[in-house]
Amino acid sequence: MSVERRTTRQQRAVRSAILEAGRPLSIEEIHEEARASAPTIGLRTVYRVVRRLEEDREIAPVTLPGKPNRYESADVAATHHHHFHCESCDRVFDVRGCVSRLQQLLPTGFVLAGHELTFWGACEECSTARSTDGAEPGRSRGRQVDRA
């Protein structure tokens, strides 16, 4: 019945990459991050582990307009929030809070099941870099950026 589950270095690498990122990661970002602790890990494995984590409800997909899915901790996803896409470094950040009275925007008869609010622009690092000397934060390690 139950499928045997083995815990491998690769699985741990993928899991912690996502859970500790503090922001939604794309498959490629997960791959890069996971290579730090499992240098030989291939895309094949990243996709499979991500899928399994998703099935196990440990992580949740984040869909953005025009972009492939990203993934974040299911715990984070459970708290209603939205996303900011930095057009400069292509990273995505969580944005706490939301707006109210959305249903009233809809035409009569429409049943609201959910919504997604996506912001875009420049993240703190990129806007700072550009206004000072034009350096590209680009590939720097993502960190949690959130304020009270």
Partner DNA sequence: CTACGTGCAAAAAGTTTGCAATCGC
Partner DNA sequence: GCGATTGCAAACTTTTTGCACGTAG
DSSP code for 58: S
Residue 20 binding: pick among DNA, a copy of itself, none (C-beta 5-8 Å cut-off by kind): none
Residue 10 binding: pick among DNA, a copy of itself, none (C-beta 5-8 Å cut-off by kind): DNA
Instruction: Please give the residues from 69 up to 128 whose contact with DNA meets the rule CB under 7 A.
Output: 69
Q: Which stretch binds a copy of itself (CB under 8 A): 2-10, 20-28, 50-58, 88-96?
A: 88-96
* Residue 65 makes contact with DNA by CB under 7 A: no
Which position among 21, 25, 30, 49 is part of the footprint of DNA (CB under 7 A)?
49
What minimum distance in Å lies between the beta carbon of 26 and DNA?
7
| Among the listed residues 102, 66, 64, the one whose alpha carbon sits nearest the alpha carbon of residue 84 | 64
Distance separating alpha carbons of residues 123 and 91, to the nearest angstrom = 8
- Provide the token pair at 14: 């993928």
Distance separating alpha carbons of residues 41 and 70, to the nearest angstrom = 19
Binding site for a copy of itself (CB under 8 A): 63-66, 69, 82, 84, 87, 93, 95-99, 101-102, 105-124, 127-128, 145-147
